[in-house]
Chains A and B, each alone.
Chain A
Amino acid sequence: DAMVIQNPRYQVTQFGKPVTLSCSQTLNHNVMYWYQQKSSQAPKLLFHYYDKDFNNEADTPDNFQSRRPNTSFCFLDIRSPGLGDAAMYLCATSRDQGGEQYFGPGTRLTVT
């Protein structure tokens, strides 16, 4: 089945220790998104790639970076995680910008 896959599902990291979250997709969609979702809150868009073009949201902290080495994979790097970065991180894809978005299962990040 075509889908969006996120690894790992649960990640524990220490305060200040870099962490990388992974997303892959078999939908062959052009656009990949990273969202941060905290408990009982709306998903908050961090950035997205349209093909290789990177689009950063204005309020995304510099601590968050992303890489998209090819169509199928996208990574979220958190350079120095703080306690406030503990959240669910959601990857989503869409065929084109403005299209329906399909989400992965998420990675729940805990910072100790």
Chain B
Amino acid sequence: QKEVEQDPGPLSVPEGAIVSLNCTYSNSAFQYFMWYRQYSRKGPELLMYTYSSGNKEDGRFTAQVDKSSKYISLFIRDSQPSDSATYLCGGYSSASKIIFGSGTRLSIRP
């Protein structure tokens, strides 16, 4: 079992829809969680960085962490074609390196 699991997709939604991207993790020591966006043949770009459980909002993006169920989510409101990319989730503890999921490919249809 991988430490961080993500559905690879592809996930295709119409422009303007709310997108929900999800990850599960197995290491209960994880305290820090992040979401990166990676366009094709580019480096990952940090979108959201959260500590412990709860929600964090930044513009159209909301990151949610539920440590009791070891579940992390990224919501994208009013999705745009420019949001089409691969989204990587990750988590780590103070004693570990970041463990990434393998990414979910998202496509927003105009």
C-alpha spacing A98/B49, complex, angstroms: 12
B43 proximal to A (CB < 8 A): yes
A contact set with B: CB distance below 8 Å: 4, 6, 40-43, 45, 48, 57, 88, 90, 98, 100-106, 108
Contact with A along B79-98 (1 / 0, CB 8 A): 00000000010001010011
Which residue of B8, B44, B46 contacts A43 across the interface (Cβ within 8 Å)?
B44
The answer to whether A105 touches B42, judged by C-beta atoms less than 8 angstroms apart, is yes
Which residue of A57, A100, A106 contacts B43 across the interface (Cβ within 8 Å)?
A106
A residues less than 8 Å from B97 (CB atoms): 45, 48, 57
The answer to whether A41 touches B102, judged by C-beta atoms less than 8 angstroms apart, is yes
Tell me, rounded to whole Å, the shortest Cβ–Cβ distance linking B104 to chain A: 11
Q: Decide if the interface of chain A is mainly helix, strand, loop or mixed.
A: loop
B34 proximal to A (CB < 8 A): yes
B contact set with A: CB distance below 8 Å: 4, 8, 32, 34, 36, 41-46, 49, 88, 92, 94, 97-103
B residues less than 8 Å from A100 (CB atoms): 34, 46, 49
A sample of 19 inter-chain contacts (CB < 8 A) reads: A6-B43, A42-B99, A42-B101, A42-B103, A43-B100, A90-B43, A90-B44, A98-B92, A98-B94, A100-B34, A100-B49, A101-B98, A102-B46, A103-B43, A103-B44, A103-B45, A106-B41, A106-B42, A108-B41
C-alpha spacing A41/B97, complex, angstroms: 17
Which residue of B4, B45, B102 contacts A40 across the interface (Cβ within 8 Å)?
B102
